[in-house]
């Protein structure tokens, strides 16, 4: 009790009595300690403790606008907009690092820094960073309330925009913190936007740092406002959750979760892991289906059943190529009265404009670079687009008409299938089913190869392995992570079926995409049918693929479109040379970048290579799907 009094006594002069009482009501001394040490370090003029009352939530939104971090000068009620800095348009891999104590080690594929060195650096950058500003303290929970999935978390920030964003993205947690024991673990984030200019944009981009201390479950973030860097409970806390999940025997994943309707009023829940800007949110938002999660899921074995929840309660979605043809549900939502924060879009005529919205964009307006006009050149000598390629919208999931009713179910939902997909222009077919949990985890998840996109601040178009679409966030050695995944599935009575998706396959000669953006709905419907064994499949060296007649039926029923045999042949031809090269690249990664790779990974990849070589001997380098006849399966099967 004496230690509690010490921290609270230190805070008395920094906040008024009402805020002091709200903090004192929380019985966990570690909460008081974190707030007191953050205040001592960052030196705010005052502290606002948010207890999640409607008045306080409304006050935060008002202050986001009054401070200039957001602007409400948009024609549609509830819409506001925000700009991040010119050099702050996405997750920054180079300066996002794990704090690793001496004697510990992570995969060399992960960015890291000595813990003592990193703490010294970032604490010095945070020192005095909130002078003259208010420190806002938000209490939130990851996962549904009163659940085995629940993780309490708190963020201290001087950004009203960040404090407003978490109102839309997460479940309120003050009531949870009122009932936590002194032994309860929770995640903590300390964030400061740092020095800001007259547009209320962080200006010291060269001193931007995001460091994750997995020993104390703390995220530090400074000189940045981009929500992926500053909202501590997005991918930053995912890193902490992965470590916690490993210790406790569950999974924290970069998943969307959707409810896909099947025959007879059936609904099947499907999880999916895709790197940012590779189709994850648009898959979760397929018209006629329901969305339970678009980004982060926690997955547990509950009585032998694989059950999952959305760690979040809102969407921080990419605002590009959303148009009335390809994504009618999201497009209509973004043009309707709702509480939505648009970030880094073009603002003109009291409207947000974004790339690929299906109409001509204005030739001038205001964007992240300031006053913008067509042909404006940036500091890097390149022409500035009307809107950022990584423009975003922030909205509560419950604002969506297709929000799944099980969103807050404390037990989560049963997963029938898991999809792994990326931008693979060359090798994998658009959709295929793994032979087993182990085959899928290795051949589709641990082998996920993709092209880097605008969602991260580095050169686009670079191919890389992105393990399970979660590689940037894994806070334990990668080999240990994959082994944990394999063992998790073995403990399930009925593991979800595993599928590999590739929405970006190109014709090898012309370079044209072989998938339409809307085809993913057919793949999802086929997956749903496979979960219940309602349709058959053809066995190929890399997995089980759909039969033509089943896809033809689905294309007509789902998209009212004729699906030709020619389309099928082009999409589902097995490309042996490209697949063999892919296996070599994957093996090289797991040999050179990971020191603790489980032997089972190489065994499964070698078996796939042998099947491909055997198929090539039988059918040649490029094998149309109709060559895999029933009587020949013995030649290429596992």
Residues acting as catalytic residues: 278
Report the C-alpha dihedral over residues 405, 411, 416, 421, rounded to 10 degrees: 80
* Burial of 77: CB neighbours in 10 Å, binned 0-12, 13-18, 19+: exposed
Q: 518 Cβ partners below 8 Å, 6+ apart?
A: 326, 559
| CA nearest neighbour of 604 among 582, 583, 627, 619 | 583
Residue showing tokens 């939530």: 57
User: Which two tokens mark 590?
Assistant: 């797991």
CB contact at 8 A, 252 and 261: no
Tell me what percent of the chain is helix, strand and coil, each rounded to the nearest 5.
Answer: 35, 25, 40
Closest CA to 482 of 498, 470, 499, 494: 470
* β 413-421/266-273 pair status: parallel
312 secondary structure, DSSP code: -
Take residue 406 and report the two structure tokens written for it: 């099980």
Strand 251-253 vs strand 297-302: parallel, antiparallel, or unpaired?
A: antiparallel
Residue 309: name the closest of 153, 147, 172 by CA: 147
Is residue 102 packed enough to be buried (19+ CB in 10 Å), middle (13-18) or exposed (0-12)? exposed
Residue appearing with tokens 């502290």: 47
Structure tokens at 191: 């964030």
453: which 2 tokens?
Answer: 């996109």
Element (H, E) at 211: strand 209-213
Q: Smallest Cα–Cα separation from 152: which of 130, 181, 124, 110? A: 181
User: How far is the C-alpha of 467 from the C-alpha of 474, rounded, in Å?
Assistant: 9
CA distance 469 to 295: 11
- Contact status, residue 386 vs residue 408, Cβ threshold 8 Å: no
Extract the tokens encoding 55.
């008045």
300 SS3 class: strand
The CA distance from 124 to 547, in Å, is 61
Torsion sign, CA atoms 282, 283, 284, 290? positive
């Amino acid at each position: 009790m004496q230690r509690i009094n010490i921290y609270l006594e230190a805070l008395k002069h920094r906040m008024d009595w009402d805020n002091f009482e709200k903090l004192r009501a929380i019985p966990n001394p570690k909460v008081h300690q974190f707030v007191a040490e953050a205040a001592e370090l960052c030196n705010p003029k005052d502290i606002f403790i948010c207890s999640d009352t409607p008045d306080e939530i409304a006050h935060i939104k008002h202050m986001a606008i009054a401070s200039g971090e957001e602007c409400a000068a948009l024609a549609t009620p509830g819409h506001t907009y925000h700009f991040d800095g010119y050099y702050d348009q996405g997750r920054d891999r180079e300066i996002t690092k794990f704090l690793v104590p001496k004697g510990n080690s992570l995969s060399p594929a992960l960015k890291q820094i000595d813990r003592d060195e990193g703490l010294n650096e970032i604490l010095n950058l945070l020192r005095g960073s909130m002078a003259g500003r208010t420190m806002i303290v938000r209490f939130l929970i990851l996962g549904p309330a009163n659940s085995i999935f629940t993780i309490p978390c708190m963020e201290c920030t001087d950004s009203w925009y960040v404090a407003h964003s978490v109102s839309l993205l997460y479940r309120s947690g003050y009531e949870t913190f009122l009932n936590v024991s002194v032994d309860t673990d929770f995640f903590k984030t300390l964030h400061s936007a740092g020095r800001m200019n007259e547009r209320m944009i962080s200006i010291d981009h060269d001193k931007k740092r995001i460091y994750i201390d997995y020993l104390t479950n703390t995220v530090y973030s400074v000189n940045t406002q981009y929500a992926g860097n500053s909202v501590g409970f997005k991918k930053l806390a995912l890193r902490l959750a992965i470590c916690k999940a490993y210790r406790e025997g569950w999974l924290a994943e970069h998943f969307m979760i959707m409810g896909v309707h099947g025959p007879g009023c059936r609904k099947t829940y499907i999880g999916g892991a895709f790197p940012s800007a590779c189709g994850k949110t648009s898959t979760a938002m397929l018209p006629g289906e329901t969305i339970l999660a678009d980004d982060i899921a926690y997955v547990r074995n509950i009585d032998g059943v694989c059950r999952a929840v959305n760690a979040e309660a809102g969407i921080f979605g990419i605002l590009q190529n959303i148009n009335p043809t390809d994504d009618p549900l999201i497009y209509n939502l973004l043009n309707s009265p709702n509480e939505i924060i648009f970030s880094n879009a073009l603002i003109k005529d009291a409207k947000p404009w974004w790339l690929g919205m299906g109409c001509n964009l204005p030739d001038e307006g205001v964007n992240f670079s300031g006053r913008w006009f067509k042909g404006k050149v940036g500091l890097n000598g390149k022409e500035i687009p009307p809107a950022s390629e990584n423009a975003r919208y922030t909205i509560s999931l419950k604002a969506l008409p297709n929000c799944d009713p099980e969103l807050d179910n404390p037990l989560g939902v049963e997963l029938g299938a898991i999809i792994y997909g990326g931008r693979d222009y060359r090798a994998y077919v658009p959709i295929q089913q793994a032979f087993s949990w182990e085959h899928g985890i290795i051949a589709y998840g641990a082998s996920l190869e993709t092209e880097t996109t605008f969602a991260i601040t580095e050169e686009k178009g670079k191919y890389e392995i992105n393990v399970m679409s979660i590689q940037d966030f894994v806070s334990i050695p990668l080999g240990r992570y994959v082994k944990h995944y394999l063992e998790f599935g073995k403990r399930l009575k009925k593991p979800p079926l595993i599928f590999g998706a590739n929405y970006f396959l190109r014709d090898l000669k012309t370079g044209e995409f072989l998938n339409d953006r809307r085809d993913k709905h057919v793949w999802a419907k086929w997956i749903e049918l496979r979960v219940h064994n309602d349709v058959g499949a053809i066995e190929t060296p890399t997995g089980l693929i759909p039969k033509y007649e089943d896809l033809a039926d689905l294309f007509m029923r789902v998209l009212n479109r004729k699906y030709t045999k020619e389309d099928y042949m082009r999409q589902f031809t097995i490309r042996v040379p490209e697949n063999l090269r892919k296996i070599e690249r994957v093996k090289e990664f797991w040999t050179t970048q990971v020191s603790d790779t489980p032997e089972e990974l190489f065994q499964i990849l070698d078996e796939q290579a042998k099947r491909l070589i055997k198929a090539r001997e039988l059918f040649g380098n490029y094998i149309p799907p109709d060559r895999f006849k029933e009587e020949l399966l013995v030649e290429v099967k596992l």
